[in-house]
């Protein structure tokens, strides 16, 4: 891949006249029609990044990373997901379907980003002017690139030249409000927001790299860190930011905006998350370097920093709920928040203030309108119901009267009518539906601690305001859902790439956990099932806070695992939260001296922090591969938190991909273990100790995961004072050759110990190989019998059947062949073999190799017999082990590529009586 970045480049040259006109976004019915490109040609290009990708499959992932890094570097995180999806599809068309290289060009302009993808298909036909564009069928595997452009891009087009085709698309930058100045009216003291005795405003300054450069005394009081402890650390190490793919703004993006305001959490020195309300302002210092000033207060003191609403038309002191005021302005102000969570939170706050209530809440309906999901609340003791679901019409804990306005004077008389308020102390409540075109989209309610606070008049006022904001809420919800789906698609693409990149079981388990934490859950545990008769085994645990991993692992290991139910989808598992709460209660009682002694349950060991970590909602998703449950993926939230349905659906998609990857890794590991076990059985268990002779063997099998191939060796005792040795090469490599290897090695031992001579042993082995029929393979073999002599020499009787000749190294450095060539085995039925006698004097070395050594190649060069002899002449005086190591080192250095053939080296040296 080649890349280039040219800041401040000029606009591109005009395209050839033969290019197709650009496509603009329009109605679905007209997406195949051609339109005139009304893109302003005067757009100034402020930066350019280009890259070329080879026509291989891995280039698609490289192109996605290139576009993602480029756009994030330009600060365009809002459109990264769309750009990555479109680039991935277009580059796939080029490098996979067209089979050519792909050129990707990113252009940064003042109004957006333009990305061009070109291929170089040699048989490209230039379409006639005015011909309709065929964007393909959505049901086909290919041809979806133009459909995606039409769906996601603001502008797009296809341009042809005689040598290449280019598809371009342009993404508009969303408007980013930078805040407004406003002033509120004077209010009586009773209406002012409550705060602590002393309001602390933490002032934190962040440099352009996201590191903390300033930390005032109020920040020390709020979070427990001194300035020295945090200076230089990234704010992301302390910020507990919501992690939802495709929705909201990340902490890194928020620090790049000119102004940002909202809620998140800061982890204090004790490990607790302190909810804060923050106001960020982007500034420049005297040197021109940008930085961000962050003002933070406790979340319940947000009124100190929160931007007040702009006054509506008319008298600024008039009542906000008067007959001439716009309920949307009363609730939301102008402009409305650009994110759904901010819009909903402001809605419930305004609803509470509008009816002088103690609390308010808002629920959104699911797509099928059968359930309501809690999305925002204020004034309630905790946010434990966030993302919790309750039925609308039927079932336990149903939400009564969700489709019509309802007033409850006293909830104690109708327990369960509003499940969200159970146990909160609220007595009276009014709820109204949010509807768009007659369809239920949500429910808004306000509640008070006193009974009988509300009448039908308040219900009508709240309903009138809800009708005015329902469309804005639904629009924001659909926008969030679309961003979530785009983010989910990008997330699953990246997850598939990572899971497909490994066949290691442990690494696959780690990837599964790291992809879910913290993106989908706060913690996760992976259970694996070896076979149908085995119990689930806790294989991996991960939490976003590493200090809690051991506690969660200890807790889960002491309790029964979830049932391996193959039913798809997530199901709630309440056992971890119950066990954690009970164990934490016992720990607290013991600390007060009121419980059982610590030694009774010291094996459980979860702390209060562990109980808080797993005390929220826990769900289990089955890992099903090839119609069998091979494990379970367990996701959990901390205390008082629930999963939203979109996250569970994304987790289910991930679990299907992860299950197949885990099963592939299991199968690969099992087959590799079986193969290696069988291969190890073909090697001699160990070399015998021979008095008066040094023996050394080096063996290398070609191919990944192979321990034995077509080459083999053996050294074994035959009878008292006599030893057999052999080195051979079966035609081919891999398992088929290894099968003949096993036959040859075991037959040699058996026949030699029957007292047969060397030629008789090889003739019977030749017959056994031929009896294999179509499975037989020819075999070259050097076989010999060795007898150490009393004078320190060794007598060898050698038969060389088609094998590279053994070489004898004398003490004077001369090298000579120690045998003559004879016919190989496995070809002819009648062989006439004979043995030759060789005497090794003290200090002599006999070197036996397979043809993988002599046929080692580097281009047109080959080591050969002469090259091997030249290396052997340098080994005078070396031990057998040193001789074998020097030969192998010379063979490996002869060529840069990995060996393509099996290699075996057998070195035998007679040291003599004085060295024995």
H or E stretch at 846: strand 845-849
Please report the pLDDT score of residue 816 as a whole number: 93
Residues facing 47 on adjacent strands: 108
Residue 451: burial class (beta carbons within 10 Å; 0-12, 13-18, 19+): middle
Residue 198 CA to chain centroid, in angstroms?
45
Of 12-16, 560-564, 586-590, 630-634, minimum mean pLDDT range = 12-16
Q: Tell which residue, 775, 744, 731, 780, has the closest CA to residue 901.
A: 731
Mean pLDDT on 832-844: 92
Q: 861: helix, coil or strand?
A: strand
Res. 395 pLDDT band, cuts 50 70 90 = very low
pLDDT on residue 358? 85
Band the pLDDT of 186: cuts 50, 70, 90.
Answer: low
pLDDT for 839 = 92
Q: Which of 895, 899, 874, 896 is nearest to 885 (CA)?
A: 874
Are the C-beta atoms of residues 280 and 291 closer than 8 Å to each other? no
The Cα–Cα gap between 359 and 419 comes to: 14
Residue 547 has pLDDT above 80, yes or no: yes
DSSP label at residue 692:
T
Query: How far is Cα 775 from Cα 762, in angstroms, rounded to an integer?
Result: 19
CA distance 221 to 236: 20
**Span 575-589, average pLDDT:** 74
CB 156, CB 166: distance < 8 Å: no
Nearest-angstrom CA–CA distance, 703 and 899: 9
Range picked from 112-126, 295-309, 849-863 for highest mean pLDDT: 849-863
Given a contact cutoff of 8 angstroms between Cβ atoms, the answer to whether 801 and 825 are in contact is yes
Q: Which two tokens stand for residue 474?
A: 């639904």
DSSP string, 707-761: S--SEEEEEEEEETTEEEEEEEEESS-HHHHHHHHHHHHHHHHHHHTTT--HHHH
d(CA 734, CA 740): 11
Which one-letter DSSP state was computed for residue 810?
-
Question: Is the distance from CB of 815 to CB of 809 less than 8 angstroms?
Answer: yes
Residue 852's CB is within 10 A of a number of other CB atoms, namely 24
Of 257 and 180, the one with more pLDDT: 257
Report residue 376 as tokens. Answer: 């925002």
Going from the C-alpha of 804 to that of each of 171, 518, 727, 778, 868, the distances in angstroms are 68, 61, 10, 15, 11
The residue ranking higher by pLDDT, 115 or 607, is 115
Ranking 115-124, 660-669, 747-756 by mean pLDDT, the lowest is: 115-124
Residue 120's pLDDT band, with cuts at 50, 70 and 90, is: confident
User: What does the block give as tokens for 566?
Assistant: 């193959």
CA distance 369 to 850: 75
Span between the terminal Cα atoms of the chain, in Å: 61
18-37 pLDDT tens trace = 333 344 333 433 433 333 34
Q: Is residue 865 within 8 Å of 854, Cβ to Cβ?
A: yes
Check residue 57 and report its DSSP letter.
T
pLDDT at position 224, please? 92
Mean pLDDT comparison of 44-58, 215-229, 275-289, 891-905, highest-scoring range? 215-229
Least confident of 229-238, 602-611, 755-764, 841-850: 602-611
Percent of residues, the chain, with pLDDT higher than 70: 78
């Amino acid at each position: 891949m080649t890349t280039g970045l040219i800041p401040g480049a000029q606009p591109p040259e005009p395209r050839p006249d033969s290019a197709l006109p650009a496509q603009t976004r329009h109605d679905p019915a007209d997406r195949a029609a051609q339109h005139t490109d009304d893109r302003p040609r005067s757009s100034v290009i402020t930066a350019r990044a280009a890259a070329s990708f080879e026509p291989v499959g891995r280039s698609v992932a490289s192109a996605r990373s290139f576009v993602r890094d480029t756009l994030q570097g330009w600060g365009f995180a809002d459109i990264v997901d769309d750009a990555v999806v479109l680039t991935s599809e277009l580059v796939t068309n080029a490098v996979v379907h067209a089979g050519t290289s792909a050129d990707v060009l990113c252009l940064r302009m003042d109004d957006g980003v333009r990305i061009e993808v070109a291929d170089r298909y040699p048989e490209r036909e230039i379409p006639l002017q005015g011909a309709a564009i065929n964007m393909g069928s959505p049901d086909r595997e290919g041809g979806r690139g133009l459909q995606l452009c039409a769906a996601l891009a603001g502008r797009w087009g296809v341009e042809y030249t005689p040598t290449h085709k280019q598809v371009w698309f342009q993404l508009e930058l969303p408007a980013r409000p930078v805040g407004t100045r406003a002033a509120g009216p004077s209010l009586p003291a009773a209406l002012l927001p409550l705060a602590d005795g002393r309001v602390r405003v933490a002032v934190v300054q962040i440099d352009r790299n996201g590191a903390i450069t300033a930390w005032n005394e109020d920040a020390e009081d709020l979070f427990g860190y001194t300035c020295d402890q945090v200076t230089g650390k990234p704010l992301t190490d302390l910020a507990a930011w919501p992690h939802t793919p495709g929705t909201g703004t990340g902490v890194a993006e928020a620090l790049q905006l000119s102004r940002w305001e909202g809620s998140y959490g800061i982890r204090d020195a004790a490990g607790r998350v302190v909810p804060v309300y923050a106001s960020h302002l982007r500034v420049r210092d005297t040197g021109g370097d940008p930085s961000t000033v962050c003002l933070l207060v406790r979340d319940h003191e947000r009124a100190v920093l929160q931007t007040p609403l702009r006054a509506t038309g008319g008298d600024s002191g008039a009542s906000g709920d008067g007959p001439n005021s716009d309920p949307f302005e009363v609730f939301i102000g102008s402009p409305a928040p650009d994110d759904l969570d901010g819009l909903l939170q402001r809605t419930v706050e305004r609803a509470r203030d509008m009816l002088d209530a103690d609390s308010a809440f808002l629920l959104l309906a699911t797509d099928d309108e059968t359930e309501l999901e809690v999305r925002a609340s204020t004034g309630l003791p905790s946010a434990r119901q966030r993302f919790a679901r309750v039925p609308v019409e039927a079932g336990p804990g149903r939400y009564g009267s969700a489709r019509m306005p309802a007033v409850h004077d006293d909830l104690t008389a109708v327990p369960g009518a509003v499940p969200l308020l159970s146990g909160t102390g609220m007595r009276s409540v009014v709820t109204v539906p949010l509807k768009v075109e007659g369809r239920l989209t949500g429910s808004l309610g306000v509640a008070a601690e006193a009974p009988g606070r509300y009448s039908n008049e308040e219900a009508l006022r709240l309903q009138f305001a809800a009708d005015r904001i329902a469309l804005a809420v639904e629009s924001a919800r659909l926008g969030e859902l679309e961003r979530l789906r785009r983010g989910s698609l990008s997330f699953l693409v990246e997850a598939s790439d990572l899971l497909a990149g490994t066949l290691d079981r442990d690494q696959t388990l780690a990837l599964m956990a790291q992809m879910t934490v913290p993106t989908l859950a706060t913690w996760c545990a992976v259970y694996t099932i070896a076979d149908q008769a085995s119990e689930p085994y806790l294989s991996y645990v991960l939490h976003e806070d590493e200090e809690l991993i051991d506690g969660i692992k200890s807790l889960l290991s002491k309790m029964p695992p979830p049932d391996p139910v193959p039913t798809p989808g997530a199901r709630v598992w309440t056992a971890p939260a119950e066990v954690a709460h009970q164990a934490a209660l016992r720990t607290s009682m013991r600390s007060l001296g009121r419980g059982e002694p610590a030694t009774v349950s010291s094996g459980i060991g979860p702390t209060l922090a562990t109980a808080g970590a797993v005390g929220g909602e826990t769900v289990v998703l089955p890992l099903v591969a090839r119609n069998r449950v091979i494990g379970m993926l367990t996701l959990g939230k901390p205390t008082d938190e629930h999963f939203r349905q979109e996250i569970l659906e994304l987790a289910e998609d991930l679990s299907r991909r992860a299950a197949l990857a885990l099963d592939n890794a299991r199968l690969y590991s099992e087959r590799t273990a079986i193969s290696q076990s069988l291969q190890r059985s073909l090697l001699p268990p160990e070399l015998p100790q021979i008095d008066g002779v040094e023996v050394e063997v080096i063996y290398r099998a070609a191919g990944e995961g192979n321990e034995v191939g077509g080459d083999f060796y053996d050294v074994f005792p035959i009878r008292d004072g006599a030893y057999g040795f052999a080195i051979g090469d079966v035609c081919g490599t891999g398992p088929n050759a290894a099968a003949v290897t096993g036959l040859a090695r075991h037959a040699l031992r058996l026949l030699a110990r029957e007292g047969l001579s060397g030629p008789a042993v090889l003739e019977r082995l030749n017959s056994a190989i031929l009896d294999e029929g179509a499975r037989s393979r020819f075999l070259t073999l050097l076989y010999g019998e060795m007898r150490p002599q009393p004078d320190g020499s060794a007598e060898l009787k050698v038969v060389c059947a088609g094998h590279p000749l053994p070489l004898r190294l004398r003490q004077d450095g001369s090298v000579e062949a120690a045998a003559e060539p004879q016919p190989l085995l496995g070809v002819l039925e009648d062989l006439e073999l004979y043995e030759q006698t060789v005497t090794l004097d003290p200090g002599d070395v006999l070197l036996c190799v397979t043809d993988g050594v002599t046929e080692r190649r580097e281009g047109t060069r080959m080591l050969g017999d002469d090259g091997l002899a030249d290396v052997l002449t340098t080994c005078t005086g070396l031990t057998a082990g040193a001789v074998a190591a020097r030969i192998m080192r010379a063979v490996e250095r002869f060529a840069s590529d990995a060996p393509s053939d099996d290699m075996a080296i057998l070195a035998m040296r007679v040291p003599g009586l004085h060295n024995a």
